[in-house]
Chains A and B, each alone.
Chain A
Amino acid sequence: MPEPLLEVRDLKVHFPTEDGLVKAVDGVSFTLQPGETLGVVGESGSGKSVTFLTVMGLVTTDQAVIEGEVLFRGQDLLKLPKDEMRNIRGSKISMIFQDPMTSLHPFYKVGYQIAEAIRTHQQVSKHEAHDQAVEMLRKVGIPKPEERASQYPHEFSGGMRQRAMIGMALSLNPDMLVADEPTTALDVTVQAQILDLIDRLKAEFNASVVVITHDLGVVAEHCDDIQVMYAGKIVEFGNRRDIYYGPHHPYTWGLLGSISRLDSTSKERLQPIKGLPPSLIFVPPGCAFHPRCPYAFDRCRTDVPELLPVDGHHASACHLSLADKERIFQEEVMVRR
């Protein structure tokens, strides 16, 4: 097995606030291989965004208590001095965000903003950087890129802005691209275009991609491996067939049961997860999901379940025995589908 591009070991990110310690990320470990697409699924408060903001160095020890290791090509990013981290950020690891409307600076031209990224990491002239920026706009499918480069963000449509953001993120040929809810704010046909673009460019630029989203459909169609997060921890990890056809965690079952599917016959009732997402300050003891879990038993209230392998690299963090999980899945979850 080749060396992983990114290896996160027991990452913890706790924010001290007036109301208490917010345990946004509470012991997360995973790896990302070169050339793979990882999907990170969770609802709000799951810690999926904070994990990668910390990997990027956008959440620092100034704001939070951070423990654990983040090994990028073997180097622990958490121990790097800020200047060196800055060199990596934007050039080796890039991130694009959810809302393209507000993610670009409204006062500067789009071409300028891309060129700025280029010139930060490469010693090139303004002219050259501008040319490269125009080329990136072309690569992401924006027509008339020379004209567009001289325009301001508010003159672009939402889809075009997201393309520009992707162009900006890939302009320095990073090894890893993190896309945080890249399509949530977009129309569905534009979503399809953007996800398609990311897939295409991933191959062209030979990058690994992390897609952070709450949309289980997006992850099913575009990701190789998927990790499901809840209350700051990974509750299940596996490839997409594992997660969709053989999930081993009540939260995953709950998520899959909550979503409407185009191919289901219309009037089947959804199976929501009861209750509300937990507070990250007063996280329930033991398994954080136990108050909402229909299969919780005594041990769930006291012991935090570890992420244990099911088979291959499919792993789940649940106290239910393998046999029980199989049984419940076959008898209850599958029947409902």
Chain B
Amino acid sequence: MGRYIVRRLLWVVFVLFVITLITFLIFFVMPPTDPAINFAGRQPTTELVAEVRHQFGLDKPLVVQIGLFYKRIFFGDEYGWPGMGFSFVTRSALKPIILGRLSVTMQLALGAAMMWVLLGIPTGILSALRPRSIFDRLAMGFALIGVSAPVFFLGPLFLYLFWYKLRLAPGSGYYSIGQYGLGTWASHFIMPWIVLALLYAAFYARMTRANLIETMGQDYIRTARAKGLPERRVVFKHGLRASLTPVVTMFGLDLGALLGGAFITETVFNLPGIGAYAIKSVASGDLYAILDVTIIAGFFITFANLVVDVVYAFLDPRVRYS
């Protein structure tokens, strides 16, 4: 198992290096126009461009540039660690902005994740244990809707129904817990959490159901029953344990991707998360901000993959020996 983890870690380091390199190539080498101009924002003046060039060391040879780029990212720059650079559009260091945005996305993602796990997986389990029953049909029917209805449809629908018409929920926007207290913070997150969670809950319900049904048909379940084990133990200790492994790994990957920015939800509900920030940066031509978001998203997904692989090996002993 140890060797397995070490191998995965080394691989992750390698992937991070490659992501960084490719990002560098995309932003600094590939564009047909001078990157200094690109980074200078919408209205580049000659002085601005020169400032950019100097700051990013774009006048230095390529190899040095790459070296500096790596150094900035992994060891930090003059604005702190990790090195997120400077935006020439907003004229400020990017690190505090991005970290702030990241925090909002995390609140959104983690809250929704808890919801979709608590909603989707038990639904899937109950459906699998009573296939073709009324519950199963209803649950899978809802799941079908959840899978088909995108956030940009459900979101405004919810806002219209629950905020505008029924006055049950507060409107969009982010109200930090520190400033506004638990109640306000939570009430503004409820709808975005639900809307985001519904989609994933639907997927997870279907996947859990399918996995569990397949697992319950396996020979070792028959053996467990033949031993005289109580059915609850057969289902949970034997059946679920085996069928949840792919669900757990899926969860890791989904969460990792979501942390890179749930931009539709953030936009619809006006939450200042990193996804919305990415869109804003694209619109305003803030190239370094986009670069930062790209790298962050890449790193999150890579780490999510690592965690998922390790957890999988922990859950399934057969994997450890490969």
Q: Name the one of A91, A105, A152 contacting B242, with C-beta atoms under 8 angstroms.
A: A105
Least CB distance, A303 to chain B, in whole angstroms: 37
- CB<8 Å pairs between A and B, sample of 8: A88-B228, A90-B228, A94-B227, A97-B226, A103-B223, A105-B223, A107-B315, A120-B227
Q: Name the one of B218, B222, B226, B228 contacting A121, with C-beta atoms under 8 angstroms.
A: B228
Q: Is the interface of B mostly helix, strand, loop or mixed?
A: helix
Total interface residues in chain B, CB < 8 Å:
20
Least CB distance, A121 to chain B, in whole angstroms: 6
A146 CA / B166 CA spacing, docked (Å): 67
A116 CA / B225 CA spacing, docked (Å): 12
12 further interface pairs, Cβ-Cβ under 8 Å (given A97-B219, A120-B228) = A89-B228, A90-B226, A90-B229, A97-B222, A102-B220, A106-B220, A106-B242, A106-B316, A107-B315, A107-B317, A120-B227, A154-B321
Least CB distance, B220 to chain A, in whole angstroms: 4
A90 CA / B233 CA spacing, docked (Å): 15
* Residues of A close to B230: CB separation below 8 A: 86, 120
**B residues in contact (CB < 8 Å) with A:** 218-220, 222-230, 238, 241-242, 315-318, 321
Given known contacts A106-B242, A106-B316, A107-B317, A168 and B227 CB-to-CB distance under 8 angstroms: yes
A107 lies within 8 A of B228 (CB): no
CB-nearest residue of chain B to A117: B227
Q: Please, what's the 1-or-0 string for A141-163, where 1 marks a CB less than 8 Å from any CB in chain B? A: 00000000000101000000000
Number of chain A interface residues as a range: 20 to 34
B219 lies within 8 A of A90 (CB): no
Given known contacts A107-B242, A152-B317, A120 and B222 CB-to-CB distance under 8 angstroms: no
A86 CA / B227 CA spacing, docked (Å): 8
What are the nearest 9 A-B pairs in CB distance?
A90-B228, A102-B219, A90-B227, A89-B228, A117-B227, A105-B220, A103-B219, A95-B226, A152-B317
A184 at interface (Cβ–Cβ under 8 A)? no
CB-nearest residue of chain B to A82: B231
Q: Please, what's the 1-or-0 string for A252-282, where 1 marks a CB less than 8 Å from any CB in chain B? A: 0000000000000000000000000000000
A107 lies within 8 A of B219 (CB): no
B220 lies within 8 A of A104 (CB): yes
Q: Please, what's the 1-or-0 string for A37-56, where 1 marks a CB less than 8 Å from any CB in chain B? A: 00000000000000000001
Least CB distance, B86 to chain A, in whole angstroms: 51
Q: Please, what's the 1-or-0 string for A163-200, where 1 marks a CB less than 8 Å from any CB in chain B? A: 00100100000000000000000000000000000000
A90 CA / B218 CA spacing, docked (Å): 18
CB-nearest residue of chain A to B219: A102
CB-nearest residue of chain B to A92: B228
A86 lies within 8 A of B228 (CB): yes
A165 CA / B230 CA spacing, docked (Å): 19
B317 lies within 8 A of A97 (CB): no
Q: Name the one of B223, B225, B317 contacting A104, with C-beta atoms under 8 angstroms.
A: B223
B317 lies within 8 A of A89 (CB): no
* Residues of A close to B321: CB separation below 8 A: 154
* Residues of A close to B316: CB separation below 8 A: 106-107
A154 CA / B320 CA spacing, docked (Å): 11
CB-nearest residue of chain A to B242: A107
A99 at interface (Cβ–Cβ under 8 A)? yes
A87 at interface (Cβ–Cβ under 8 A)? yes
A35 CA / B230 CA spacing, docked (Å): 29
B220 lies within 8 A of A117 (CB): no
CB-nearest residue of chain A to B230: A86
Least CB distance, B280 to chain A, in whole angstroms: 47
Least CB distance, A78 to chain B, in whole angstroms: 17
A152 CA / B315 CA spacing, docked (Å): 12
With a 10 A CB-CB cut-off, give which of B227, B230, B315, B318 has the most chain A CB atoms: B227
* Residues of A close to B228: CB separation below 8 A: 86-91, 117, 120-121
Q: Name the one of A58, A87, A152 contacting B226, with C-beta atoms under 8 angstroms.
A: A58
CB-nearest residue of chain A to B241: A107
A105 lies within 8 A of B224 (CB): yes
B242 lies within 8 A of A154 (CB): no
